[in-house]
Structure 1
Amino acid sequence: MTALIVALQFLTRLPLPTVTASQADFGKAIRWFPLAGAAVGLAVAGAGSLGAMRDPALGALLALAAWVGMTGGLHLDGLGDIVDAAGAAHRDPARQRAVLADPHLGAFGAIAIALQLLAKLVLLALILASCTTAREVLALALVPVLGRIGPLVWVRVLPPLHEGLGTLFAQRAGAAVLVAWLVGWSLAAWLLAPVLLAALPALLLWPLWLRARIGGLSGDGHGAGIELVETAALLALVLTP
């Protein structure tokens, strides 16, 4: 279970026991990323449901606070870095890598993070305002799960920008694991909110953009992709009839 604990420690701020993990454990952790997403999703759905008893807007605010609190803003940081690199580098690969390596947040990244948070807040409010059953609220829990299935796809179709955790993840992200999570998530979505299935193409659209603009995959690419897939899933819940 070491790889599971590593995945939860890496992707959430849950208080968990310290474990001694090998490089293989870190690589295997990617197999449990969707389960970490389920933990985030349940917190989001629970906080949103609690706040919506008073007002959908309050529910959206509590849900977003739970979302950011559970992840520590990890993926938002990746989104900001990717947007900085794409916006400031003017397609110069060397400049893009320099911007990605820079720990400081630029104007493009700050704007992207602000818009992402605003988008999630508005979409959550719209979703909670339309929910009439507990099942519809529970469907929110599937949104972060889909986002964290993304890395299992992306390590298989994109080259790493540099050696690191991404390389370890690529070595341990087996096709059978990916298929199992996709099938399981799709069945759950079909039972709770079939409209969520409309968000599945986002898993493939993101690596296409990333290959064209950045050239490969990094931790920031994973984080940004998770954020954008989550937003695509929220949009599906709002816009799909």
Structure 2
Amino acid sequence: MIRLWLAFGFLTRLPVPHVSGTPGDVAAAIRCYPLVGMVVGAIVAGAMWAASIASHDPWITALAGLGAWVAVTGALHLDGLGDVADGIGAAHGDRTRLLAVMRDPHAGSFAVVTIALQLIAKLVLLHALAGDGRVALVPFATRIAPLCWARWIAPLGTGLGAQVATAARPRDIAGWAAVLAAACVVAPALLATPLLVLAYAAWCRRRLGGVNGDAHGAGIELLETALLAVLACA
């Protein structure tokens, strides 16, 4: 339970019990990320359902879902996406500069533009999926990905990426993959998840040289948008 509350406390702004865990508990909390994703998905879908009942307007429904998504996660992953965008945009191939820019707490023009485009993309896709309960499965599916990236990609620095590098066990990935396979019965579009996870892993190795907390957050955001697009096209 300590690891579960740590996962909720880190990934969401939900009021959960304050617990103190060891560094091992903090790292092992990554095993609970998909469960947190289930709750995030339920909140997003619930907000969209309530807005559709109140307004019958798909744009208002989409905005309610997006607002709930950002609020419940505290824009955590958007922050990571912005940091990665700034790093890639300003590094010009210099890996040392890339890491320095990603650690800078200030948001540059690349971050602002990327986050804006991400929010617009999600809004448009949620509009296309208004009334589609499969949206609730997207946050769950995407939060399996960090377990894979932590296991498969070398960490950058000594931050979150390094802490969770050994915490994701093969049996954790296999167990959540089985749950994802069951979810594919309801939403076959989720079959795209493994391909997206592998594609982002390859990109991280080639462009970043590894993975850290910002890269995990950026990956979650990009996978969420990609899966929403696949659902909308399915």
Q: Which amino acid aligns with 1:51?
A: A
C-alpha contact 1:142 1:185 (8 A) present in aligned 2: no
Q: Which amino acid aligns with 2:223?
A: V
C-alpha contact 1:195 1:237 (8 A) present in aligned 2: yes
Q: Which amino acid aligns with 1:113?
A: I
Superposition deviation, residue 27 in structure 1: 1.3
For residues 194 and 126 of structure 2, what CA distance do their matches in structure 1 show?
Answer: 19
Q: Which amino acid aligns with 1:25?
A: D
Report SS of the residue matched to 1:200: helix
C-alpha contact 2:142 2:193 (8 A) present in aligned 1: no
The aligned length equals 232
C-alpha contact 2:141 2:190 (8 A) present in aligned 1: no
Superposition deviation, residue 146 in structure 1: 1.4
Q: After the TM superposition, which of the residue ranges 46-55 and 212-221 deviates more from structure 2?
A: 46-55
Which residue number in structure 2 is paired with residue 98 of structure 1? Answer: 100
Q: Which of residues 75, 78, 83 is equivalent to 1:76? A: 78
Superposition deviation, residue 172 in structure 1: 1.3
Q: Which amino acid aligns with 1:195?
A: A
CA-to-aligned-CA distance 1:92-128 (integer Å, 9 cap, x gap): 1111011011111010111000000000000000011
Q: Which of residues 144, 147, 150 is equivalent to 2:145? A: 150
CA-to-aligned-CA distance 1:185-229 (integer Å, 9 cap, x gap): 121121x22122224311111111111111111100000000001
- Give me the TM-score of the superposition, normalised by structure 2: 0.96
For residues 81 and 187 of structure 2, what CA distance do their matches in structure 1 show?
Answer: 27
For residues 82 and 52 of structure 2, what CA distance do their matches in structure 1 show?
Answer: 30
Which residue number in structure 2 is paired with residue 171 of structure 1? Answer: 166
Q: Are 1:189 and 2:180 matched, yes or no?
A: no
For residues 3 and 198 of structure 1, what CA distance do their matches in structure 2 show?
Answer: 29
Q: Which amino acid aligns with 2:208?
A: I
Q: Are 1:234 and 2:234 matched, yes or no?
A: no
Question: 5+ unaligned residues in a row in structure 2: which ranges?
Answer: none
Q: Which amino acid aligns with 1:152?
A: L
Q: Are 1:127 and 2:122 matched, yes or no?
A: no
**RMSD between aligned alpha carbons?**
1.1
C-alpha contact 1:153 1:178 (8 A) present in aligned 2: yes
Which residue number in structure 2 is paired with residue 10 of structure 1? Answer: 10
Report SS of the residue matched to 2:166: helix
Report SS of the residue matched to 1:155: helix
Q: Which amino acid aligns with 1:173?
A: A
Q: Give runs of ≥4 in structure 1 deviating > 6 Å.
A: none
Which residue number in structure 2 is paired with residue 224 of structure 1? Answer: 218
Question: 5+ unaligned residues in a row in structure 1: which ranges?
Answer: none
Which residue number in structure 2 is paired with residue 44 of structure 1? Answer: 44
Which residue number in structure 1 is paired with residue 208 of structure 2? Answer: 214
Which residue number in structure 1 is paired with residue 194 of structure 2? Answer: 200
Superposition deviation, residue 164 in structure 1: 2.6
C-alpha contact 1:199 1:236 (8 A) present in aligned 2: no
C-alpha contact 1:87 1:108 (8 A) present in aligned 2: yes
For residues 100 and 219 of structure 1, what CA distance do their matches in structure 2 show?
Answer: 10
Using the aligned pairs only, state the percent identity: 48
Superposition deviation, residue 12 in structure 1: 0.5
Q: Which amino acid aligns with 2:230?
A: A
